[in-house]
């Protein structure tokens, strides 16, 4: 009976890098798209606002698993034979993250008091200047804890990417278990890997909060 060896640990380490990579893709892509959606949600134009709201509702109302299936098989129906797993997983998680980040960030932007908009408006600043110079710097501070909290969610949700054939941390754990049948040991180690990825994020969030607090307790 084979047992857990350094080779398995190496395999898990590679898989952990894929988990980190996929998380980074999801966060960067989802962040860009989500930020655009957050701005669209508070646009002065009603149509833009409503379109963004519909997009967010659809994404938030769809399980990530289904979203991944839809992209993986949907693109195949469109005529592309094999979608690379990394592409399907990356696009799926990006869309998923955008729907949630948009709503988190919209809330943060709107929680900056209306009087701040008014003060900037009365100084003849344009809407763009008000947003970038007055509102966003304050919203970033409010958004930090919830954004990092969601980043941790993304890291853990990458485990669903295994359904489209993507080998990340938990899929690698399953693969190893299929050969050596030591589920408890293997998945404790997998869990430690996840913790090692997520814990620094939370620590980083706290230090960011402190840094953003400079000059205002």
- Least spacing, CB of residue 216 vs other proteins, in Å: 5
- Taking CB under 8 A as the binding criterion, the range among 7-15, 85-93, 127-135, 170-178 that sits at the site for other proteins is 127-135
What does the angle CA 19 – CA 204 – CA 133 come to, to the nearest 5 degrees?
110
Q: Which is nearer to other proteins, 121 or 182 (CB)?
A: 121
Residue 137 interacts with other proteins (CB under 8 A): yes or no: yes
| Residue entry with tokens 């919830």 | 146
- Least spacing, CB of residue 126 vs other proteins, in Å: 7
3-state secondary structure of 168: coil
DSSP structure class, residue 12:
H
Please pick, from the candidates 82, 133, 206, 211, the single residue that binds other proteins as defined by CB under 8 A.
Answer: 133
Tokens found for residue 120 = 């900037």
Q: Which is nearer to other proteins, 3 or 115 (CB)?
A: 115
Site for other proteins in 80-119 (CB under 8 A): 115-116, 118-119
Tokens found for residue 18 = 């894929």
Q: Cα separation of 166 and 65, whole Å?
A: 13
Which of 174, 147, 150 is closest to 160 using CA atoms?
Answer: 174
- Least spacing, CB of residue 39 vs other proteins, in Å: 19
Structural contact between residues 37 and 98, judged by C-beta atoms closer than 8 angstroms: yes
Q: Which residues bind other proteins (CB under 8 A)?
A: 115-116, 118-126, 129, 133-134, 137-138, 141, 215-217
């Amino acid at each position: 009976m084979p047992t857990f060896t350094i080779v398995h640990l190496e395999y898990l380490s590679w898989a952990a890098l894929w988990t980190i990579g996929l998380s980074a893709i999801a966060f960067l892509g989802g962040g860009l798209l989500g930020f655009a959606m957050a701005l669209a949600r508070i646009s002065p134009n009603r149509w833009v606002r409503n379109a963004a709201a519909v997009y967010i509702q659809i994404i938030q109302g769809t399980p990530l698993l289904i979203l991944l299936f839809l992209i993986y098989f949907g693109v195949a129906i469109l005529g592309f034979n094999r979608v690379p797993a990394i592409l399907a997983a990356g696009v799926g998680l990006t869309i998923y993250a955008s729907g949630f980040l948009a709503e988190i960030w919209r809330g943060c932007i709107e929680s900056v008091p209306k009087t701040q908009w008014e003060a900037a408006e009365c100084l003849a600043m344009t809407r763009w200047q008000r947003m970038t110079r007055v509102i966003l710097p304050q919203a970033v501070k409010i958004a930090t804890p919830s954004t990092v909290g969601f980043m941790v969610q993304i890291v853990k949700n990458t485990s669903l990417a295994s359904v489209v054939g993507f080998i990340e941390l938990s899929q690698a754990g399953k693969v190893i278990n299929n050969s050596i049948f030591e589920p408890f040991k293997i998945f404790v180690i997998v869990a430690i890997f996840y913790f090692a990825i997520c814990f620094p994020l939370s620590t980083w969030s706290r230090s960011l909060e402190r840094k953003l607090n400079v000059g205002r307790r």
